[in-house]
Chains A and B, each alone.
Chain A
Amino acid sequence: KAGVTQTPRYLIKTRGQQVTLSCSPISGHRSVSWYQQTPGQGLQFLFEYFSETQRNKGNFPGRFSGRQFSNSRSEMNVSTLELGDSALYLCASSLGTQGFNEKLFFGSGTQLSVL
């Protein structure tokens, strides 16, 4: 069974641009969560999608948005990039929502650098 796939692996953007990251969950998993990982802030929850609906949202500005498609694949978009958005963005999938306390399966992440 293929794991969680995130594309692209690396991205370099400039301030003010926008970016779209993609995540393909494990086959059969319906929940996708997104996290931002930085050396100073650790892992911060962005949002969770389940069956194409956003179930939970973290404390991030509206520039961060996401969506989930009928095949459970998810995209995350960041508009008007700022230097502080430079981070490793991790996607995690699970069979059910986080409320079921199931383990999360993480992708290798997309490393975003904003110049």
Chain B
Amino acid sequence: AQSVAQPEDQVNVAEGNPLTVKCTYSVSGNPYLFWYVQYPNRGLQFLLKYITGDNLVKGSYGFEAEFNKSQTSFHLKKPSALVSDSALYFCAVRDMGTMLTFGGGTRLMVKP
């Protein structure tokens, strides 16, 4: 069975500093990996995905994620955090023939 773990319930970072939101996964085959963001009282919004190819994936709003097969990780990163980046972030994975499985979410708090 596939699974995804986000080990941190909350990440705190100062505005202007780099941020990292961690994600590790487990699948039986090749993983298809996604990041979504949820703002208060809103549905989820797509940020980026990894299917194949370059391990560094660039997405919306200046976010990027690095796929590491040996560590089974897909951490979300941004070089310089904004207060407006404060939200709930979800990592998701699917294996061939299966549905998206989401992690428990990580709340990102960016302080001015």
Interface residues of A (CB under 8 A from B): 4, 33, 35, 42-43, 45, 48, 56, 58, 90, 92, 98-99, 101, 103-109
Contacts and interface: CB of A to CB of B under 8 A. Distances in A.
How many chain B residues sit at the interface, stated as a range, is 20 to 34
A108 B43 contact: yes
Contact of B94 (A42, A101, A105): A101
Interface in B48-76: 49, 51
A45 B2 CA distance: 13
A43 B90 contact: yes
A45 B101 CA distance: 7
Contact of B99 (A4, A56, A106): A56
Given A48-B99, A98-B94, A103 B51 contact: no
Given A101-B32, A104-B44, A42 B102 contact: yes
A42 B46 contact: no
A101 B105 CA distance: 20
Interface of B: 32, 34, 36, 41-46, 49, 51, 90, 94, 97, 99-105
B6 to A, nearest CB: 9
A99 B97 CA distance: 6
A98 B41 CA distance: 24
A107 B43 CA distance: 5
A43 B88 CA distance: 12
A104 B102 contact: no
Which 9 pairs between the two chains have the least Cβ-Cβ distance? A106-B43, A103-B46, A43-B102, A42-B104, A106-B44, A45-B99, A108-B43, A107-B43, A101-B32
A101 B43 CA distance: 19
A109 B90 contact: no
Contacts of A35: 102
Contacts of A48: 99
Contacts of B100: 33, 45, 98, 104
